[in-house]
Structure 1
Amino acid sequence: MPAGLPRPSMGVLNLQGGEKRFKLSRHAASEALSFFIKHYWIVSWDCVDEEPYLQHVVPNPCVNLVVEPQKTFIYGPSTRKFSYPIHGKGMVFGVKFKPGGFYPFLNQPISTLINHPLGVEHILDLDGPELEEAILSLNTEQDMAAAMDKLLLPKLPPQDEQVLFINQIINYIASERDISKVEQVSEQFGLHIRKLQRLFDQYVGISPKWVIRLYRLQNAAETMDQRLPVDLSRLSMELGYHDQPHFIKDFKAVVGHTPEEYRRWVQES
């Protein structure tokens, strides 16, 4: 990444402020796994003598396998922000699957994971506590990534071409900031809206409408995270909103604050 440019937050709200309290790193999975997995992520912190800090994340349309003491599960995507308290000393290891990338492991609609986390023993040869010991006891992040590679490689399902198609659609939604309606996506890829919705229910877990909304609001938050002057009315139009009240309503529904409140929080952190 060119010097001076902020690295992608991938939904981590106010990443620049948060990294004063924790370290976030990402590691590539082995080449054989890369068809299914976006990356491994590791968050670590040592804040024993500091006030607790609440880190907020706008979800991506991805399944995550999260390795955390007593909380190790496979989580489906969500439509609302996730808030994690950073305090004391700790570490969390995660596997972020590509959109649609977990479906070949599960072989049932990803929507069934919404609000119903899955035990890791359903796809691995060990349960949550055993996986925590196998990963979190290692000394380096590279060792953790290599250990997860070894656990997942024997479980690889056949590659599903629909995963590639899903990622084409979602990359289009993510990169075209003025996309605001499902109809635009349907027309671009020549799919009937109902077929597109069924495909997302099966492979992604949330509707294309929600995927569009999450990326637009992530775009908005990342713009404000740069701590530069922002015309919120103009920003809402650039993100495909025809009126600012609709933008404010969506932003608050997902992020928990109005855009103005969020911008002020970023500036003060």
Structure 2
Amino acid sequence: MRQASIPSRPSMGVLNLPEGEKKFQLTRHAPAEALRFFVKHYWIVEWDLSGQPSYQQDVLPNPCVNLVVEQQKTAIFGISTVKYSHLLEGKGTVFGVKFKPGGFYPFMKSPVSKLTGQGTSTLDILGVAPQQLEDSLLQLSDSADMIGVMDALLLERLPLQDPYVTLLNDLIDHIHRHRELTAVKQLSEYAQMSIRTLQRLFNQYVGVHPKWVIQLYRLQNAAELLDYGYASPIPELAAELGYFDQSHFIRDFKAIIGITPEEYIRRRS
């Protein structure tokens, strides 16, 4: 089997990142030390398509809440269960906070599943108006200054650390590292807790079912392999990702990514 190598800089769900980086700049930044228990990273997207056609960037969901600061679109977004798209036009900047899985629960203090598939105002949870965030962040041209503003905002609202956040990140890292893990039962055995307890924790802290997270990472891995030139037939890719049935793999791929693997390859080409 000829297998493509994935670069050390992972796409983290940004579909066809090699092509996208011709249109925009994506950088990721560490938050203040005290925030790293809750926040995976900050991300900044900048683009200048002045005089050029608009560009649609597709993004796979991930098991994380994001705070997105964008002109007239600022909000806190729960997990999307399907692929979503962002249209880039003209010139612009977006600043994002990607919370760790479960990392937003201590700020929210209610089940994160309430946010799944939708957004909510920053005023409702963090007590700061969207326009205030846009005015204080998007007028800055230096990423270090933007990071400083967001650090200060979140540090003022810093909750107590919750040990379940650590547990859930360990479980999700385990899912990500082990392609052979295909069932919630396997995860419950690793966690040494019942399936029902596991489902309750994921609903409360992450916002989605653990089965969905298992499926997501397998398909994210599939898309990333295809983006970087995976050359073997689709049945071999399905088998490598732990699917015994090729049609099952194709159905799952289409359910989240919106098209079949063959269509995805054609569009990427």
Tell me, yes or no, whether TM beats 0.5: yes
- In the TM superposition, 1:34-49 aligns within 5 A as 34-49=36-51
Percent of matched pairs sharing the same residue: 55
Contact kept, 8 Å, 2:54 with 2:87, in 1: the verdict is yes
Give the aligned partner of residue 150 of structure 1. 152
Give the distance between the partners of 2:127 and 2:212, measured in 1 at CA. 34
Give the aligned partner of residue 70 of structure 1. 72
Unmatched tracts of structure 1, length 5 or more: none
Give the aligned partner of residue 226 of structure 1. 228
SS of 2:110 mapped into structure 1: coil
- In the TM superposition, 1:121-136 aligns within 5 A as 121-136=123-138
Moved more, 27-36 or 236-245: 236-245
Residue 114 of structure 1: CA displacement? 1.7
Unmatched tracts of structure 2, length 5 or more: 1-5
Contact kept, 8 Å, 2:111 with 2:207, in 1: the verdict is yes
- Per-residue CA deviations over 1:38-62 (Å, capped at 9, x if unaligned) read 0000111111222221111111100
Give the aligned partner of residue 264 of structure 2. 262
Give the aligned partner of residue 198 of structure 2. 196
Give the distance between the partners of 1:29 and 1:91, measured in 2 at CA. 18
Moved over 4 A (4+): none
- In the TM superposition, 1:29-108 aligns within 5 A as 29-108=31-110
Give the distance between the partners of 1:165 and 1:36, measured in 2 at CA. 13
Residue 231 of structure 1: CA displacement? 2.5
Give the distance between the partners of 2:66 and 2:32, measured in 1 at CA. 17
Give the distance between the partners of 1:200 and 1:126, measured in 2 at CA. 27
- Per-residue CA deviations over 1:135-182 (Å, capped at 9, x if unaligned) read 111121111011100111010000000000000000000110121111
- Per-residue CA deviations over 1:55-91 (Å, capped at 9, x if unaligned) read 1111110000000111111011121011111121111
Give the distance between the partners of 1:129 and 1:209, measured in 2 at CA. 37
Residue 121 of structure 1: CA displacement? 1.6
Q: Across the two proteins, how many residue pairs are aligned to each other?
A: 264
- Per-residue CA deviations over 1:119-146 (Å, capped at 9, x if unaligned) read 1123434200011011111121111011
Picking from 106, 117, 120, the partner of 1:115 is 117
Picking from 177, 181, 184, the partner of 2:183 is 181
Q: Give the letter aligned to residue 18 of structure 1.
A: G
Q: Give the letter aligned to residue 92 of structure 1.
A: V
Give the distance between the partners of 1:208 and 1:89, measured in 2 at CA. 38
TM-score (norm 1): 0.95
Give the distance between the partners of 1:225 and 1:6, measured in 2 at CA. 14
